[in-house]
Amino acid sequence: MKPLIRKLVEAYGPSGHEEHVREMIRAEIKGLADYVSVDPLGNLIAVIKKKSKSGKKVMLAAHMDEIGVMVTHIDSKGFVRIVPVGGVFLNTLVGGRVRFGNGAVGVVNAEDRRGNPASFDQVYVDVGATSADDCPVKVGDAAGFYRPYEELGGRLIAKSLDDRIGCAILIEVMHGLKRTPHEAQFVFTVQEEVGTRGAGPSAFGLEPDLALAVDVTGTGDTPKANRMAVKLGGGAAIKVRDAGMLSDPRLVALLEQRATEGRVPVQREVLEGGSTDARSIQVTRAGVPSGCVSIPCRHIHTPSEMVDMKDVQACVNLLVYTLERPIELD
């Protein structure tokens, strides 16, 4: 699974520019679904058809996009001004590198010599140009963080683990499913980082009976971290609440029951800030019972996010075990 994760996390794909990631995933899932399609927004949808009359339509969603920046202005010397695409923290930018869709790489710096910019107005990207005329990018071009994947034993460090790790988990679940009575709807969504925009329309078209987002969540196991009962290596996190949604209690109970039956390590998640695609799916059409299986992740929205492979495998095992068995929410 690690080679797949590395391939996905090192790919370029800021919100609104997920094409390359989508084609990589499409190649990885070839032959695993009954049909594969791309909807008008760019969501990649792979469906394994229902094998039982009592089966449910179960939507699993992981987003392909990553946070990034976009060019707003290029001055006469070729220095590039930017705005954020998604939740970019200023303190993670200075001294880092970004890569544009055409392959151009730039170094991020700030007018503040101490490297503590107060706003994006003080930040620029140096792409090595000598003038605006020889600048390799243009206004409106997007870039993502540029940082290599690394392994620290069983822990992985990379940019865009949020949420390429979720995409990798969905691919692994598709490989691992032996037989499911349900219609399993695997959706690799776009534009989650700018307002969970892709998931709602895809759910509207698929009309699932229930849905689970698969995304990263924060942890409470670092120095001075917010108090949170999630830690790296503690297992898959079953979301109860985040800032954008309340998980359906029936789904929380179902996932915990399946985890006990399958001996899958899990932990409960209550997240103070942030949300997932489940927020948009939940309020689609007349409403969709929704929840989230989360991957504990340190340093979210930085160029060096960190996950533990034990938690990743626990998420895969929990989803496979759940999909291979009956689901009743009444």
What are the catalytic residues? 192
Tokens for 3, please give them. Answer: 């080679």
Nearest Cα to Cα of residue 145 among 130, 131, 161: 161
Task: State the residue for tokens 């390429």.
Answer: 164
> What amino acid is encoded at 117 in this protein?
P
Length of the chain counted residue by residue: 330
Spell out a b/e string for 197-228, using b for 16 or more CB atoms within 10 Å of the CB, else e: bbbbbbbebbebbbbbbbbbbbbeeeeeeeeb
Three-state SS for 248-295 is: CHHHHHHHHHHHHHHCCCEEEEECCCCCCCHHHHHCCCCCCCEEEEEE
The 10 Å Cβ neighbour count of residue 280 is 28
Tokens for 212, please give them. Answer: 């689970």
d(CA 27, CA 29): 6
d(CA 234, CA 237): 8
